[in-house]
Amino acid sequence: MSQAQARLSTPPRDGYEAYYAEKLWSWVPEVYRTLDANPPANGALRALIEIVADEAAILRRDVDRLWDDQAIELCDDWAVAYLGALVGARPLSRADPRGTRLAAARAIAYQRRKGTPTVIGMAIRDIGGVEGVVVEAFRRLARFPHRLDIDAIARGTVTGSPGGGFVRLKQPRIGGLIDTGFDEAAHFADPRRLRGPYGRYGLRKVNLHLFAHFAQQVDLPTPQQIAAQRFTLDPSGRDVPLFQRGQASDRPPDAIRETDLPIPILCRRFNATMHEITAEALAVINDPALDAALAPLLGEHFDSAAALLRNVNPRLTLAQSTAFTAPLLDATLLSDAPKALLWDDSLALINAAESTDPPVAPSAVTAANLDDWQAGIVLAPYVALAVDPDSGRMIPGPALSAQPVFVSRLHLGYFDAIGAIGLRHEPEALPAPDSTVPAGPTGAHGGFTGPGPVAINLPAPLTGIRRFTTSRTYQPSLPAGRNFSGITETRLDAADGARPYVRYRPDAGNLDITFTAAPPALGERRSLVIDGLWIGIVAAAIAPEVLAHASDFATPVIARLILDGAFDEVSLRQVTLDPGGERARTDPLQAVALPLVRLEIEGQVDRLLIERSITGPIWETNADPALCNPGRIEICDSIVQAIDDALPAIQTQLAEVRLARSTVFGRIEVARLYATDSIIAGRTRVTDSQHGCFRYSATGKTGAVLPPQFEAFVPEEWLPEEWFLSQCFGDPDYAVLSHTAREAITTGGENGAEMGAFNARALTVARAELERQVRDLLPVGQTPQFILENPNSDSEGES
């Protein structure tokens, strides 16, 4: 369920049910109330009164909202269609209530601006629910300008290429702009049908570049040291691309810049600077000798730092150049340069005694290709840190001080809010904690004095509500036997906006962590809730594995998170149980595996609920029928992955498994299965094939034993890997269906959207509705072309 849908489905807290129940109960004569409390009635009359009170509460709310239902911003969903009909709004699919409401609200604005690129940009945001850039392809066709209009031809803001003319190939960023929404090159007409990079340009073509991902901010994550002078910004040590914050919604649709979109940061974009030497900039440095030397350059504009230094250095002495190069680069940097827009907004690093100190200056950080880490890289003397935004790798530079390095903030890209990503909760969703987990020592100014990890001690027995308040790495001390016992009603959660990485470090010989319920007691529940945490289990020392070829993967290592004892309910919400992988390599032929965390049920769990989470395999390991464990496993809007093909992703012998809007990488072998809107990439085998249901879901037919099917997609072979853009945890396209997937999967959900973990987002439905709306808004004869930009590619998206 999306966040908007979650808000709409939250029951009101007006207390009308209780009010009417007591009011109606007070009208009942005392004699009947007394009789109702005793056998044989046993509260039957009271139950009937409460049912009537519920209906009365509904009627009261309808009456109260009669006035609100006249406004499209406040009305209930049922009234949107009626209000939309009054202004001629096109009705949309029921699977897209947000788009339906906005289409009705903007119907008049659409008609007033019909036929303009601005209205198409509005529709992309409103109906598509994504960011986008509209390009009229005829404006990018090559032409020979007349001599009289040569001065009126606009030049590209990045490359300086004249519109319709020859591009400036000496500009290093030209390659990253070709065929994008910000292309400044001229093209010949291409009458072919749109297919990847082909068929994009023509007199009647309008290209809509869609960006379906969003960027989530993470504050103060703990960098992971891979080796000496080698770090990753990801706390687990993975290679993870960094994203721009994305603030396109703050700007008009026709004024969106490349740096405003939630897309990956590129080296050439992060290093793109523009400088202007002004009196104000020189006043910041405040050196008379420098002012005199640079006086002839006042008012000069430079397209890059290299161009600035080429003109400035000949006018300075060696001592001046050494002392003032970095301050001059910072003081003359224009505020609308890409680096100025990205630094301290999308990414900020601190090299100081405390985490609350200001970030390092823009000139002290450079983007670099660190695929081979330091190999061949020569950093300027004023550079403190070099970062590869494509992988999140980092190395120190000559200007780095001895103070700690903090990651003040960074942004990561996601297709939907699944797993521990630091998503903010609803205001009423988090209960008051019994205690907050200490986040590390602080200094005189209130900031942390070290980047982490933070050693913590969880109480024994583990009870109450324990809250993690930051996105730092926490390393709990392990009790005897690595067993957190005595759990009664226990909750471990993250504060709003925090994405804590809880890393357990047992001995290499036994990667097991156990959560055990307290012994049963009459009238007491035994429950465990984990909300918003990223949990990893990594051995204290891991030897690298020598590979035969650089393309080989590390052998999977298994860690176990065990549930023992008798639980009434265990809930995992917005949780990531690390599905495994490998750390960033320092040697192409040596790999260090990150263990996959397998959730195992050894005790009795009446209900295991997994919501909007990413997990490794889920196994029932105790097959004792006397325990009836677990009663039911419910997995919704989640991703379950077994990176080891030899082991099942979900395995039970007694439990009933219910899958809803989920994606499973691997095979499942369960007792009974109810699946809806789900994808099982491997083989599916159920013991009880007479009960259960497999509806609006997909799995391979080879070796499958399925329950009764309804509108299911079961091809002869297993679902191929190329139907997914990525099966690697950490990629922004993790578990996203590719354009090669069959239409039966991409539109086979019950709501007409794609099957799998992203069904609730219903992007397929929104895109279809957007296409219909755009065709109504475009001038006659214009052909819209939809290009879904892929974060894993610089310029080539899916059409």
Tens-place pLDDT, residues 334-381: 999 999 999 999 999 999 999 999 999 999 999 999 998 888 888 999
pLDDT in tens, 591-601: 999 999 999 99
Assigned token pair, 442: 């602080």
- In whole angstroms, give the CA distance from residue 375 to residue 397: 14
Q: Is the pLDDT of residue 536 over 50?
A: yes
Residue 760 gets which letter from DSSP? G
Write down the pLDDT at residue 145.
66
What beta strand segments (E) does 317-382 contain? 348-351, 365-367
Among candidate residues 420, 501, 496, the one with its CA nearest the CA of residue 456: 501
pLDDT in tens, 703-738: 899 999 999 999 987 899 999 999 999 999 999 999
Whether residue 106 contacts residue 122, with contact meaning beta carbons closer than 8 Å, is answered with yes
| From 154-158, 570-574, 679-683, the region with the lowest mean pLDDT | 154-158
CA distances from 169 to 173, 550, 555 (A): 9, 35, 45
User: Looking at residues 68-94, what average pLDDT do you find?
Assistant: 87
User: Looking at residues 85-110, what average pLDDT do you find?
Assistant: 87
Within 8 A by CB and 6+ apart from 766, the residues are 96, 99, 127, 128, 129, 130
Among candidate residues 568, 505, 567, 573, the one with its CA nearest the CA of residue 534: 573
Compute and round to an integer the Cα radius of gyration of the chain: 30
- What phi and psi values does residue 125 have, to the nearest 5 degrees? -70, -45
User: Looking at residues 35-52, what average pLDDT do you find?
Assistant: 90
pLDDT in tens, 292-315: 999 999 999 998 899 999 999 999
Q: Is the pLDDT of residue 482 over 50?
A: yes
Helix (H) or strand (E) holding 435: strand 435-436
- In whole angstroms, give the CA distance from residue 706 to residue 11: 36
What does the mean pLDDT of the chain come to? 89
Res. 625 pLDDT band, cuts 50 70 90: low
Res. 501 pLDDT band, cuts 50 70 90: very high
DSSP helix/strand/coil, 252:
coil
pLDDT in tens, 144-165: 766 665 555 677 777 778 777 7
Q: Is the pLDDT of residue 543 over 50?
A: yes
pLDDT in tens, 265-297: 999 899 999 999 999 999 999 999 999 999 999
User: Looking at residues 195-202, what average pLDDT do you find?
Assistant: 89
Question: Which amino acid is present at 213?
Answer: H
Map 472-504 to HEC letters.
CEEEECCCHHHEEEEECEEEEEECCCCCCEEEE
The residue whose two tokens read 């005790």 is 603
Q: Is the pLDDT of residue 143 over 90?
A: no
Q: Is the pLDDT of residue 1 over 60?
A: no
Helix (H) or strand (E) holding 596: strand 596-601
| From 61-70, 478-487, 709-718, the region with the lowest mean pLDDT | 61-70
Write down the pLDDT at residue 11.
61
Helix (H) or strand (E) holding 8: helix 3-9
Write down the pLDDT at residue 790.
82
Q: Is 297 exposed, middle or buried (0-12, 13-18, 19+ CB in 10 A)?
A: middle
Q: Is 718 exposed, middle or buried (0-12, 13-18, 19+ CB in 10 A)?
A: middle
| From 466-470, 480-484, 507-511, 734-738, the region with the lowest mean pLDDT | 507-511
Q: Is the pLDDT of residue 525 over 80?
A: yes
Write down the pLDDT at residue 153.
65
